[in-house]
Amino acid sequence: MFLRLLLVAGAIIAALVALFIPGSPEREPYVQGRNKTALFISNIEHGLSNVHVATASALLEGYPDIEVHFASFAKLRSKLARVSAFAQAKTPAAKDIIFYELNGLSFYEAVLLLGGDLEKTICPPGIAGIDQFTNSLQDWISPWSADEHMVIYDQIGALIDEIDPAVVVLETFLRPALDSTRDKNRMHAIISPNTLVDNFLGDQPYGSMFWKYPALSSGFDFPVPYRNMLENIYLNFRFIYAAMLTPNLSAKKAELRTRGVKDPINFLKMHRPDVPWITMNTEGASIPVDVVPTNVTCAGPILLSVAPASEQDPELAGWVSRGPTVLINLGSGFSYPINYVRPMVEAVVDVLTKTHVQVLWKFNKYGEYSDDELAPLKPFLESGRLRLSNWLPIDVLSLLETGHIVASVHHGGSNCFHEAVSAGVPHVILPLWVDLYNFAALSETAGIGVWGCRDTSPTWTADGISSAIIKVVDGGEASISLREKSRSLGDKLRAGEKGRDISAREIAKLAYVK
């Protein structure tokens, strides 16, 4: 639930503050261990780990001579086992991913201990929501206490010593792993679901990060309209101010230094020119930047692709194939509070009444309320035009690739966005916090989606949701344009090399010790 709040937030703040922080000193060459060995380390949350799992899968298939090790928390074990089995079905020489379970708190669990919850996460775009976000920024950067940080830090250090990998593959929000790897001066790379504009605004010339590129959480169009420029500058400086004045984080860093961590939680200098950085930046579905650091690889969508939908769940795949289907899936962590389920129920009824589509809705409750709230859906459930499920037995990308999904209704998370882009499916985005607003605006700028409830976000209205969905599926002029642009972009991406294969190739280069 909290991942989208952080994922791009931290990346942009790091880029912003980089303008005001001196460059890093020269370092000794990184240590490479055993030839043909890669150690992935990630959180378990889908928004943070999917790019790593997808890359590991492609590494198994394309480079079966490389040992793939993966350290994470317990919930990722079964997913990696499934990925190994699928890779072996495609490449018999592929080995199993060797999994190591980390003890301690996962990111999500650590956030919960800080009092994070849905109500605190949802915030409006722009100035109206800036205080809510920046006031909690220091806790989102690294939610673990010093003790919890050291539990993971020490485990990672021991694993690196035991495995002795040629390369360690990291993400930006498992801070203890990044600290441990860098303290051991090991060769490493970072894979991020972010795009260039999320991570490298500080590299853009003429201070264009302030006047040209939409600030995090602004939801402004690109380039920033003149009428929004002053607000954009103000938002950027608020992020800088919040990132530099983090007393709780400073105290934690000081304590970690006393325990031997050399440069703890250096959030503002995560990017190093000598560390390969792989991003999901996608031409045609990302804001273009003027300067790309030489160590950055733009891979496009880095997505996990396993078995076709018909193999994962033949019954559901058969239902989807009956006709045009709207998929409503607001990410792996979102559940519906009562004030969000009511407008969605009303909107679904309206869409099913006015169109001939069917709807697959991934639905989970947040809080306690009666099932009677769903009563208006009963006729459509009984007729078979609507399905509600608290989980999807088919991976989202495989569902989208069936060709039967005519609209992907999601929250604007990077994975959801890139899955629909890759499959050539138009978006209906219902953003609720921070960077989600920028993906919603981007979908409209690119002509591949609609920002639902734009005038009321993050509050939903039934009319705002249903009118956005109907605009995409009704077959009118706007609908045709959205479908054609989405399909054209998807066709172009599928005709080229897959992002996960590009990412795997970059990691393989480091796994082969010269």
Q: Indicate which CATH number applies to the domain containing 436.
A: 3.40.50.2000
Full pLDDT tens readout for the chain, 514 residues = 434 444 444 444 445 445 444 455 577 899 999 999 999 999 998 888 999 999 999 999 999 999 999 999 999 999 999 999 999 999 999 999 999 999 998 887 887 766 666 666 788 999 998 888 777 776 677 889 999 999 999 999 999 999 999 999 999 989 999 999 999 999 999 999 989 998 898 889 999 999 999 998 899 999 999 999 999 999 988 887 777 766 667 888 899 999 999 999 887 788 999 999 999 999 999 999 999 999 999 999 999 988 899 999 999 999 999 999 999 999 877 889 999 999 999 999 999 999 999 999 999 999 899 999 999 999 999 999 999 999 999 999 999 999 999 999 999 999 999 999 999 999 999 999 888 999 999 999 999 999 999 999 999 999 999 999 999 999 999 999 999 999 999 999 999 999 999 999 999 999 999 7
HSE of 462, CA atoms in CB hemisphere, 13 A: 12
Residues 285 and 325 in one domain: no
Residues 491 and 502 in one domain: no
Residues 344 and 248 in one domain: no
Residues 482 and 467 in one domain: yes
Residues 243 and 379 in one domain: no
Identify the domain containing residue 82 by its residue range.
Answer: 3-22+29-303+498-511
Residues 217 and 326 in one domain: no
Q: List Cα–Cα distances, 250 to 12, 27, 146, 148, in angstroms.
A: 20, 24, 11, 16
Residues 376 and 295 in one domain: no
SS3 112: helix
pTM value is: 0.92
Residues 101 and 8 in one domain: yes
Rounded to a whole number of angstroms, the CA Rg of the chain reads 22
Say how far residue 490 (Cα) sits from the centre of its chain.
19
Sheet holding 405-410, edge to edge: 386-389, 358-362, 325-328, 405-410, 427-429, 449-451
Residues 347 and 469 in one domain: yes
Q: List Cα–Cα distances, 233 to 134, 208, 290, in angstroms.
A: 15, 10, 19
Residues 258 and 135 in one domain: yes
How many structural domains does the chain have? 2
Residues 271 and 367 in one domain: no
Cβ(292)–Cβ(205) below 8 Å: no
For the chain, the 3-state helix, strand and coil shares in percent, each to the nearest 5, are 50, 10, 35
Residues 150 and 273 in one domain: yes
